[in-house]
Amino acid sequence: MITLSPKIIKTEEQYLEYFNEVHSLIISSPKLGSEESDRLELLSMLIEDYEKQKYPVEAPDPIDAILFRMTEKGLKQADLVPYFGTRSRVSEVLARKRPLTVPMIRALAVGLGISADTLIGLDEVEGNNKKQNVDWSKFPIKEMVARGWIDNITSKAKKTVEEIVQGFISDMGLQESGASFRRTLAGDSPTPTTTYALYAWLARVIQKTREIKSELPPYDRAKIGDSLIKQIVHLSRFEDGPKMAVSLLKDHGIAVIIEPQLKGTMLDGAALKEIDGTPIIALTLRYDRIDNFWFTLVHELVHVWKHIDDTNEAILDDLEHASTDKRESEANRIARDAFIPRSLWKRTDAYLKPSKETINALAKELNIHPAIVAGRLRKEAGNYNQFTDLIGQGMVRAQLENL
């Protein structure tokens, strides 16, 4: 009589012993319900458990899956533009410089027949039970120290680098528990290579918000909408309009923080809420221009108005590139129309016969800064060498640098 006394496999030798026995039992074809059959089932379960721990199956890589399907179907990068939106976006995603967005995943799943589970990745398929482990050494320590965000670290420091950085991130409410990030990064700016820099930047933005929070009145979402956006837009005509706009938003309980982006991050702005619900608009002013400032400010204000409800999320924006995200598209559309209504734009002399005179005339008619008209012409034409004297280069940071 066979004694059912197999034990949990702990060694390779034990694994091989059970494996060979399973092979012999399979060949003998034991009768269902017999002692041999029960032993075969038990040994198989022990072997499977050992293999899962010893030889875990890695999640399929989404980019590798896309490249494989391209090879299989004979597709070129240009053939993926309908799924990604632009040629540059295709190139950036396939080079792993940008993550797949939800609209991209949906389009690829339908158009190329790639499983959404594969495109999302194993962590998401399993309900994100396995949180991202934080590698504290990947934070831009030197830059954070140079900017005065954290204390300088010396060989005699009582705290380790990890403790100092972890304390900074945790104090700002960005660490959930253990080694996980609490707040998710949405929008088109986050990439795997800049994630740590972006979390560091967000922590600094939150830190600066807390420094001025006592100056903010209670936030009333009911007072945020088209009327406030129109007020902001019309402030653009003033030379000190940026400072006036920041003050107006603060009067509505919205913190506006100016913090230059960290090295390697392509970031124009962000919209988020503090743990207590205080809305935050953060601007990097990476392009210190009048046109860029106003569009980014209104774009982020739309996010605050319509898209930011969860304090566990931050929307980060790189407005230099087109987006397929619905929230980004809506923020872009509202911001564009707030300055120059689409029903009017293509019938104006500024659009049909662009010149310094027609640009100034339209700006005066719409009660906005000429830089905004010039900036829109430059972007739509893809020609950033024209009207450089109208875009207000270097005219924003100087009046907002102390914010």
User: Would you say residue 5 lies in a domain?
Assistant: no
Q: How confident is the model at residue 385 (pLDDT cuts 50, 70, 90)?
A: very high
pLDDT of residue 55: 61
Same domain, 115 and 49: no
Same domain, 91 and 222: no
Share of the chain above pLDDT 90, in %: 45
User: Would you say residue 1 lies in a domain?
Assistant: no
Q: What is the pLDDT of residues 241-260, one digit of tens each?
A: 999 999 999 999 999 999 99
CB 313 within 8 Å of CB 241:
no
Same domain, 174 and 321: no
The vertex-170 CA angle with 169 and 175, nearest 5°, equals: 90
**Overall domain count for the chain:** 4
pLDDT of residue 91: 86
pLDDT of residue 59: 54
Q: What is the pLDDT of residues 146-176, one digit of tens each?
A: 999 987 655 445 467 677 888 888 888 886 5
Mean pLDDT of the chain: 85
Question: Which of 209, 227, 243 is the last residue before a domain boundary?
Answer: 209
Same domain, 198 and 227: no
Amino acid at 35: E
The domain that holds 108 is classified in CATH as: 1.10.260.40
Same domain, 250 and 371: yes
Same domain, 318 and 277: yes
Residue in the structure block whose two tokens are 């929070």: 213
User: Would you say residue 283 lies in a domain?
Assistant: yes
Domain that holds residue 184: 136-209
The vertex-289 CA angle with 348 and 185, nearest 5°, equals: 105
- How far from the centroid of its chain's Cα atoms is residue 208's Cα? 21
Which of 14-18, 25-29, 153-157: highest mean pLDDT?
14-18
SS3 content of the chain, % helix, strand, coil (to 5): 55, 5, 40
User: What CA–CA distance (Å, rounded) separates 383 from 122?
Assistant: 42
Burial class (CB in 10 A: 0-12, 13-18, 19+), 169: buried
- Continuous H helices in 29-132: 35-54, 62-73, 81-84, 87-94, 102-111, 116-120, 122-125
Share of the chain above pLDDT 70, in %: 88
Same domain, 192 and 282: no
pLDDT of residue 35: 82
User: Would you say residue 3 lies in a domain?
Assistant: no
pLDDT of residue 396: 95
Same domain, 36 and 90: no
SS3 316: strand
- Residue 137, pLDDT > 80, answer yes
Same domain, 330 and 229: yes
Question: Which of 209, 238, 264 is the last residue before a domain boundary?
Answer: 209
Length of the chain: 403
Same domain, 275 and 234: yes
User: Would you say residue 129 lies in a domain?
Assistant: no
Q: What is the pLDDT of residues 68-112, one digit of tens each?
A: 888 888 899 999 988 888 888 888 888 877 778 777 887 888 888
Question: Which of 123, 150, 165 is the last residue before a domain boundary?
Answer: 123
Which of 100-104, 120-124, 162-166, 207-211: highest mean pLDDT?
207-211
User: Would you say residue 131 lies in a domain?
Assistant: no
Same domain, 307 and 327: yes
Same domain, 16 and 82: no
User: Would you say residue 26 lies in a domain?
Assistant: yes
User: Would you say residue 354 lies in a domain?
Assistant: yes
